[in-house]
Each structure stands twice: as structure tokens, then as C-alpha cells.
Structure 1
């Protein structure tokens, strides 16, 4: 044990004392915070799309197309589609698109509508304009069937629904967005760090083998002690980096919160519409205000007082504890296999053929787990079995944690992961002890299987 501790210290101090470690530990939270603020600023300062409307249907659709924060509609100039297209191309300031309703367009025949633009129309822009057109046509149909605008607005419903977790004492509100987001982030972190630091173990072993330093070290320690010292030393580096990132991220997020609030409050409203649109908007606003006078100020008040308030309702303690345990277990399991690969090969090129089979369970568990959360049940049979198999549980179980996992499943998954780590470490150590002193021989899977049963 003393020799493992000495190797652990060497691996840890060698990496922590490097300038690159300090720089990346400090820069990563800064880059993440800067990216978040930058995206918020850019999103908040986006311009409203201006769409010219050429209506030859006689349905007076321009009057029904209401302006929003994303798009406003203006009448196209010209007496024909050709003239309107020419005027659209020369318009100052530039217009984003030209919406054309053909003469054949009616309430019963809604085909033939075209959206013309210089270049390709983005999916978001097309979706926004299509939504506005569908709303306008729907309101026009209802008004022509004898319903006035007030009646139409009263028929609309906006039901608010809270998801409540009954497994928690007193019932706990479940923020689906925050829960899904936490699952994504945790799974990405586990996948990324297991892969990155596992490859570091493999490269470290391979470099020491190539430089023949390994032969000197093995004169004083056993191969198993050397392998475990390396794995645990890099694990200590990971947790040191995690601690730095958590502290820095907390501080930066606290400082960035006021900037994000300002971006939300200063997002530009829709530009002024034409006189006809203003009248229509005013009419709609008046009818809606009667119905929804109470919660009209809710969007402004909804800005969270703290960026960490999004975690309210989540089992934070279980998530943190489960993340650390399953990440550590997954790292130990996969890094032992990576260490065996590094010991078996003489250069990095040969390592690629052995890395892919090892990483397949990691990749598949990430892909399948995401699909389970989006389209399936995080507590269903597929998610359950993925979180029980040691090779897939580090990602699958961590992704399930924000949704709430029965305690017995956590214990069973943890026990199986520990058992899987013990077994893979035993297999890896058998390969490692032979491979570290094997030079100049091309290794294949059959040869590796023989090494497992060598005596000594």
C-alpha cells in the first residue's frame, strides 16, 4: 500500500504542478461563463424580422397578421408579384422575406402560399412566419363563422401544469426543463472525463514503456501497484480540478447573473407595425387584457433572483453524491482497461484497434440513455438495465439521478459497479504485468487472452 501511495503522489504532483493544469483549471469556467453571457447578449439583441406581404387572394390577410417580438409584417409595394419581388430586393432598410398569397388562396384552399427571400430561409424564420399565418387564417375563419374577437379570445385557454413527485415527502414540484438539462450535463461530464482521463492513463503507461523507464520502476514495485498508483493519482487530479471548477463556476455564475438579467429585460420589443396592424394588435390586446389582467407582469417577475434557483426541487445531495461515486467507479473501471491497452502496445497507432471495443459500451450508453430520456421512461426497463450493467451504469445511472431513483436501485447499481471494477482490474492487471515488459511484438486479442493465464 505504501508503494501505491508513493506512485499516486508522483502522478498527482507531476500533473498538478504543470502550468497547463493551472491554466486549464482557471480558463475553463471563464470560457463557459463568457460563452453563456455572450449567447445571452447575442440572443437578446437579435433584430425583428421584417416580412413584406403581397396578398392577391382578396382575403385581407395583412390585417390579421399581428406583429410579435420575432416578426412584423408590412405591405409589399407594386401592382404584381414581379414588381413586388423587384421592390423587395431593392428595399431600404432591407426586408427579410416576401410572403405571397396567390389569387387561388381561400379559407377552403390554403395551398400555394410562397415565402420568397434572397438565399435560403432559416428553419426558425419559416416556422415563425408559418405560425403567424396559421393563427391569422384561423382567427379569420372563426370571425367569419359568426364569432367576434372577444368570444374568440375567451375560447382560448392557457393551462399551467406542475409536475409533482409523490415519492418525496409532501410532494415535490418537478421542473422538467431543469431535470432534463441536469441529466444532459451530468452525462456529458461523465462521458467526457472518463474518456479524456482514461486516455491519459493509457498514454502515460505507453510512454513510460517506450522510454524503458518502466523496467527501472518494476525493479522496485509490482506491476499491479504501479497500475493502481497511476490510476488513483490521475483520479486525485480529476477531483482537484472538479473542486476548482465548482468554486470558480459558483463565483462567476453569481457575478454573471446580473448581466443575464439585463439581457432578458433589455430584449427589444417588436418594431412598430403599420396602422392596420396597430389597430388589430390593440384590439387583440384589449380583449386579452380583460381575460388575463392578473398575470401580465409575470414574465418580468419571473427572472430568477439567483442563477442557482433553477436547482430548486431537484435532489441535489443525491445528484452530487451519485455523480461523484458513479463517475469515480466508471473512471476506475475504464482506466484499468486503458492501462492494460497502454501496456500491451508499443505505440499509439496500435492502441486505436484496442480502444474502440473498450469505448463502445460508453458511447452506446450515452446515445441510448439520451433517447430514453427524450422519448421513453427514465425509470423504464431499458433505463433500469442500462443502469445496472457496470459498463453502462456510470452514464445511465447518473442521467437518471435528477429524475429520482429508488434507493435499492442505487445500492444494487453501486454494488455491481464495484464488482465490475474489481473484475476488470484483475483482468487488466494480468495483461499489464506481461505487456509492460513485452517489446517488438504485434499484439492481437488472442495473444491478450493468453497473457491473462500466464503464471507468475
Structure 2
């Protein structure tokens, strides 16, 4: 197989010298970071906006409930009708008007509260108002029933069950969250890499086949060498592109922050903002330490090595399928009938990882699918953070490598025949015949 390095070099150089490859390699992170920058800038503008909410409480029960916050100011209106309050709110360009009817019955009052606004208010704003009013009315109802609210609050006890293995290793709920996040991220990264660069290998085979260049190449190179060369060469090009994206991403983040004064940390969802406010609580600040402890408890060395091995093994396995499909057809349209059997195991692996590994990482379903080669790269990567015996990892990887070698042998037979077949749409029955040649 002394021609293999030459084929890998040729495929790699063809990819990285391609104009579209170069343009997308440098343009994609610029577009992505520009999009993030625009979102960050708009978010900053939105965060700087202070919302004025008028409050007309005709019942007089909840008007003292509302406290001004960093982005919301409450203006309590007195002695005016609802129509006058609406007109005043429009004149002052208030975000909205909260109206409470003149009802003293607390139970009925909850059904006579209305928020008026020019446009639909945000969900967070309405939820915040509801929470404040609900807490106030609940406390008032308890007092009416002769219940000491302060005593109830003082009697609340927070329970957090400590977790520890039989070997004495302490864990927590946060440990599980961190493990799920790491395993899910690694599995999803592999899933996306296979989809993106597997298709690149398939397109490369189709292009050379339709241009008839393959007829010249195949006269001096064995089909299996050519197929492996395309897989390895395209993979190296993909890794190169990924590394450039990562480096450019960090550089552009620095440029956006330093030159344009855009704080990328401002790109937050309302849920993240609420979490950030909650973390200012001294009690919750202690959880940061728990998160750091959970991170250090991860089998990081095992994760890194397993990720590299299963990433390479899983990618090469699926790449051989993509190369065989590319050789069997004449255009990308004809590939659709063969793509489903390839995509389904990947989708199943992600589904098993999200809904089964998270709930029971050492259960029968999770364990079995972490040994099946078509799903093991994703499922095993999601299981490892929860602690998987080394012998299971070695066995799973060995099965994956063995399946890859067997798949390459079968794929090479399809590749050998299909690469010279033109003008006919192959069927599964014909593919089986090609394997027997």
C-alpha cells in the first residue's frame, strides 16, 4: 500500500487548495462571530432600556408590593379612572399599565387583574408581576386565616441528600449535570463531524467519478487504496478547517470585545439572566464550588483518550459508508435512497444517549448500545463520564475497529465496481452482487 500516502496527500491538497474550501474556512467564523456580535450589541441595547410600568390598584391591596429593579420602574397611580390611567400611560410612553379592580375578596381579586400595553409584553415581565402579586396575596390570605407567615417561613427546612459511592467517593446532583453536559457535547460533536465531513467524502467521490478522472487514477491505484486515501485525506482537511475555525473564533472574539467594545457575555437568554441574578445569593454562591468540584471529579484523562479513539474509529467507520455510496451513484440526488440506513443509527445513538444514558448509564440498554459499533462512538462517549470499566471501553473500541476493517473490505468491493458504473441507478440487490464479485 505504498501509494496510500501519495493519495492522502493529493486528497488533502485538493481540498485545502479548493477556492470554496478556503473561502468558507475563513468566511464561516467571520459570519458566525459577526452574528454573535450583532446579537450581543442588540442585547446590550435591550439591557440598557428601563421599562416603566404604571400600576392602578383600585383595591389598595397590592400597590406596595412592587419594588423597582435595575431594568423596571413602577409608577403607582392614585385617584383616577382606568381610562385616565390608560391615557397617562400612553403619554408617558410606559411599557404597560397594570390594573387591579376594586375588590376586597382575595380569592376573586386574582381573577380581576389586567395588564394593558401597546404591544404584547414579554413573558418574563408578566411572570415577574404574577409572582410578586401571588406572593403578596398568599401571605395576606394566610394572615386572614390566622396563620403566622413569619413562623411558616422560619419553619421551612431545605433538604439536600448527600451522595456517596460504596467506595467512599462523594458526588452530588451537580456532578450528574456536569457529566451529562460533557458526554452530550462530545457525542453531539462526533455526530456533526460525521454528517458534515462524511458528505464531503461522498461528494468528492461523485465529482471525480462524473468527471471521468477516476478512470485514469484507477488504472494505477487499487480501489481500496483510493478509498482509504480519500477518507484520510478529507479527514485531515476537515481537522485543519476545524482548527482554523477555533483559532479564528478566539481572535475574532478578542477583536469584538477590544475594538468594538461589545461584551459577548451579554449574549444571554432570560433564563441565564435569572440564573445569574440567583447566583448573587451567598447561599447559591457555594454551588459554584460544587460545580468546580464536579468538574475535577470527571475522569478527564479517560475522557480525552476515549474521545480521540472513538472519534477516529466512528468517523472512519461511517466515512467508508459514505465513500461506498459516492462510488455507487452518479449524482447527489441518487444518494438519498442509501442515506437513511446510515443516518438512522446515528440518530438512534443520540436518542439513546439523551433519553437512556442520562437516566440509567449502566442499564442494559445503555450498555448494549455502547458495544454496537454503529452506535458505540456516541453512546460510549456519553457513558464514560459516569464511570465505565476500562475493559468495557477496550472491548467496545476493539469491536469498532474490527467492524471498520470489515466495512472497509465490503465498501472497497462496492467501490471497485461502482466507481466505473455510469448511467444506472443501483439498487440494494445490485450492491449485494457487487460485493460478491
Task: Specify the TM-score bucket, using the shorter chain as the normaliser.
Answer: 0.7 to 0.9
The DSSP-based 3-state class of the residue aligned with 2:310 is helix
Distance 1:246 1:167 in 2: 41
| Aligned position for 2:224 | 224
Contact 1:105 1:111 in 2 (8 A): no
Distance 1:165 1:24 in 2: 49
Contact 2:345 2:374 in 1 (8 A): yes
Contact 2:40 2:263 in 1 (8 A): no
The DSSP-based 3-state class of the residue aligned with 1:64 is coil
The 1:332/1:263 distance shift into structure 2, 3 A limit, reads: closer
The DSSP-based 3-state class of the residue aligned with 1:389 is coil
Q: 334, 343, 353: which one pairs with 1:369?
A: 353
Tell me the matched-pair count: 416
Say yes or no: does 1:108 pair with 2:91: no
| Aligned position for 2:197 | 197
The 1:149/1:31 distance shift into structure 2, 3 A limit, reads: farther
Distance 1:169 1:28 in 2: 48
Distance 1:49 1:380 in 2: 51
Contact 1:62 1:73 in 2 (8 A): no
CA deviations 1:206-257 (Å, max 9, x no partner) are: 0111011111111111111110111111222233344555666677789999
Contact 2:171 2:294 in 1 (8 A): no
| Aligned position for 1:391 | 374
Unaligned residue ranges in structure 2 (runs of 5+): 267-279
| Aligned position for 2:66 | 65
Distance 1:211 1:327 in 2: 32
Offset, 1:300? 8.6
CA deviations 1:335-376 (Å, max 9, x no partner) are: 1111111111111211122223321221232244233466x3
Say yes or no: does 1:182 pair with 2:166: no
* RMSD of aligned Cα (Å): 4.0
Contact 2:371 2:396 in 1 (8 A): yes
Alignment of 1:31-430 (within 5 A): 46=47, 47-56=49-58, 58=59, 60-69=61-70, 71-76=72-77, 79-88=80-89, 90-95=90-95, 97-103=96-102, 106-109=105-108, 110-145=110-145, 151=151, 154-155=154-155, 166=165, 170-171=169-170, 174-244=174-244, 311-372=295-356, 376-430=359-413
CA deviations 1:113-163 (Å, max 9, x no partner) are: 33333333333333333222222223333444556675465345566x597
Distance 1:116 1:136 in 2: 21
The 1:79/1:28 distance shift into structure 2, 3 A limit, reads: same
TM-score after normalising by structure 1? 0.76
Contact 1:41 1:263 in 2 (8 A): no
Offset, 1:299? 7.8
The DSSP-based 3-state class of the residue aligned with 2:106 is coil
TM-score after normalising by structure 2? 0.79
Offset, 1:310? 9.1
The 1:105/1:163 distance shift into structure 2, 3 A limit, reads: farther
Distance 2:149 2:66 in 1: 14
